[in-house]
Amino acid sequence: MEKQDWKDLLRAAFSGIEIIERSKFETAENFRQFCEFIAEPAFEALAEELKEYGIKAKYWILRGKSISLRVQFPKSKAENFQYTISMPKNSVELKLRLTIRGRKNPKSAWEEKEEPFMEKVPADRVMKISQEELLADLIEHYKNFIYAALTSPE
């Protein structure tokens, strides 16, 4: 068995660390750009359109961590539904998470579920998602939640 120089092993270890750190930095920068150029404008457009239905919505950003759209009950200040896209800590690629939170009425408990964000979209295509694709996904989740809330026996 060939012996490797310990200095080569050490150099390789630090090289690997450098690659991971650079990947984490690039992923964080890509997520920031995704939020700024895709999610924020999409959420703003939807919030504006929801006003036509008597519903207030606003988006919320935790820099580098997540972006959420929070939708209120019609003609109410109470929150009804939240759609949150987040980047897991120490991510080296844009494999984002989606958290859906909602409640059936202003006094009921929040229900929450987490799943991969747009699971059929590979990590290397997330930056190419159009605002329309993002809005279609958000509206589908919102519709499904509202329909389930309106038809549940509780």
pLDDT in tens, the chain (154 residues): 567 799 999 999 999 999 999 999 999 999 999 999 999 999 999 999 999 999 999 999 998 899 999 999 988 889 999 999 999 999 998 899 999 999 998 888 999 999 999 999 998 899 999 999 999 999 999 999 999 988 887 6
Domain count, the chain: 1
DSSP classification of residue 109: P
Please check whether residue 97 lies inside any domain of the structure. yes
Please check whether residue 1 lies inside any domain of the structure. no
Integer angstrom CA distances of residue 104 from 35, 54, 59, 139: 28, 17, 20, 17
What is the model's pLDDT at position 147?
94
Q: Which of 128, 24, 141, 124 is nearest to 85 (CA)?
A: 141
What is the model's pLDDT at position 64?
80
What is the model's pLDDT at position 152?
82
Please check whether residue 119 lies inside any domain of the structure. yes
Please check whether residue 135 lies inside any domain of the structure. yes
Q: Return phi, psi of residue 123, to 5°.
A: -55, -35
What is the model's pLDDT at position 3?
74
What is the model's pLDDT at position 2?
67
* Tokens 């202003």, residue located: 106
Residue 67 burial by CB count (10 A; 0-12/13-18/19+): exposed, middle or buried?
Answer: buried
Please check whether residue 18 lies inside any domain of the structure. yes
- As a whole number of angstroms, the distance between CA 48 and CA 32 comes to 23
What is the model's pLDDT at position 1?
59
Please check whether residue 112 lies inside any domain of the structure. yes
Strands of the sheet with 57-62, listed across from one edge: 57-62, 66-72, 79-86, 97-102, 111-116
Please check whether residue 43 lies inside any domain of the structure. yes
Summary count for the chain: helices (H), strands (E): 3, 5
Residues spanned by the domain of 90: 6-151
- As a whole number of angstroms, the distance between CA 146 and CA 84 comes to 17
Please check whether residue 63 lies inside any domain of the structure. yes
What is the model's pLDDT at position 63?
83
